[in-house]
Amino acid sequence: MAGSVLEKGGGSRRRGRRSRAKPMAEINVTPFVDVMMVLLIIFMVAAPLQVVGVPIELPRTAAQSLPTEQETPLTVTLTADGAVTIQTTEVADGDIVGRLQAILTERTSDRVFLRADAAVPYGRVATVMGAMNAAGITNIGLVTDDGGPRLNGQGG
């Protein structure tokens, strides 16, 4: 907001000068800071919502989360009906190994996250993990939700 400042000491009639208004040469940064704070809050709220778009019900555990990476993580998802998706593309069982090998040649990170619906049988999860291993993936992170049961008998 621009304003003007009166000169000090210029009110004497003997000198014959009148007070002049000088323009203020300062920038008001308050509106800029306000806009930046609103944008920061919007991005902080929206960032956790940007997950892979295959809706599944993850099992709950008391495990700690893994550290984040620079690259967008590669995610393999098992839905409740047993379908396998890599990122958001559904893949047939026979194509899993070939697709993963092709994707891994383009990536710098060897970590892959496996998201499996809680209703998927353990045998199906083990089969997909075996296919991932056959594709050369040895760094597999199992994705779960917080607040699950603990082995010491206390709920999450």
Candidates 125, 119, 127; CA nearest to 81 is 119
When the candidates are 3.30.420.270, 3.90.550.10, 3.40.50.150, 3.30.70.1450, the CATH number that belongs to 53-156 is 3.30.420.270
Residues 31-66 pLDDT 10s:
889 999 999 998 888 876 665 566 667 777 776 666
Q: What is the mean pLDDT of residues 72-92?
A: 87
Tally of CB atoms within 10 A around 74: 20
Measured between alpha carbons, how far is 44 from 50 in angstroms, rounded to an integer?
11
Mean pLDDT of 117-142: 88
Mode of pairing for the β-strands spanning 111-116 and 139-143: parallel
Beta strands 74-78; 84-86: pairing state = antiparallel
> Rounded to whole angstroms, how far apart are CA atoms 144 and 147?
10
Q: State the pTM of this model.
A: 0.54
| Contact present, 114 and 33 (Cβ < 8 Å) | no
Q: Which residue has the higher pLDDT, 67 or 125?
A: 125
Asked if the model's pLDDT at residue 100 lies above 60, the reply is yes
Tell me the per-residue pLDDT of 130-154, one tens digit each, with 9 for 90 and over: 998 898 888 888 887 777 677 776 5
pLDDT, mean of residues 66-94: 82
Q: What CA–CA distance (Å, rounded) separates 128 from 117?
A: 13
Secondary structure, 3-state, 104-126: HCCCCCCEEEEEECCCCCHHHHH
Average pLDDT value for the chain: 78
Domain boundaries, the chain: 4-48, 53-156
